[in-house]
Amino acid sequence: MTTAVKNMLDTYPADLGGVDRDKLARCIEECIACAQACTACADSCLSEEMVGDLTKCIRTNADCADICNATAAVLSRHTGYDANVTRAILQACATVCKACADECGRHADQHGHCRVCAEACRRCEQACNDLISSLG
């Protein structure tokens, strides 16, 4: 399936080097999807009657959304590419996605939004780790 992310990568006028375009596109897409899921989950948590019990979940959602958005932005820029910066932000993103998936997973049986968010976080964590593994 062709996506805007893939189309943008295909139109980049310079060589991307040895970066796996499919893994890069998937990682950007998963970061964007995860940021959206985390933002929506945090908002849903705020609407729950037991919102006080979800404080850590809300905070983790907000942190994960911010880092996923930043990761998608960094991965979308290729001019002056620095593999060390890319690797560091991917590792940070994978770490926060794991933490958020674990936290949302604690509430997944009670709140469908936490289940959906945990799944999105796990997919993003995997996409980040897959891209890290493919970097030279």
pLDDT at residue 12, as a whole number: 87
Q: Report how many domains make up the chain.
A: 1
Domain assignment of residue 5, yes or no: no
Domain assignment of residue 56, yes or no: yes
Domain assignment of residue 108, yes or no: yes
Residue type, 78: H
User: For residues 57 and 45, is the Cβ–Cβ distance under 8 A?
Assistant: yes
CATH assignment of the domain containing 50: 1.20.1270.360
Look up the pTM and report it: 0.95
What are the contacts of 78-87 at 24+ separation with CB within 8 A? 78/12, 78/14, 78/16, 79/14, 81/17, 83/135, 83/136, 86/135, 87/132, 87/135
pLDDT at residue 110, as a whole number: 95
**How far is it, in rounded angstroms, from Cα 118 to Cα 124?**
10
Domain assignment of residue 83, yes or no: yes
Domain assignment of residue 13, yes or no: no
Domain assignment of residue 10, yes or no: no
pLDDT tens string 3-16: 899 999 988 888 87
Banded pLDDT at 136 (limits 50, 70, 90): low
Domain assignment of residue 4, yes or no: no
Q: 15 — phi, psi (to 5°)? A: -70, 135
Percent pLDDT > 90 in the chain is: 82
Domain assignment of residue 14, yes or no: no
What range defines the domain where residue 92 resides?
Answer: 21-134
Percent pLDDT > 70 in the chain is: 99
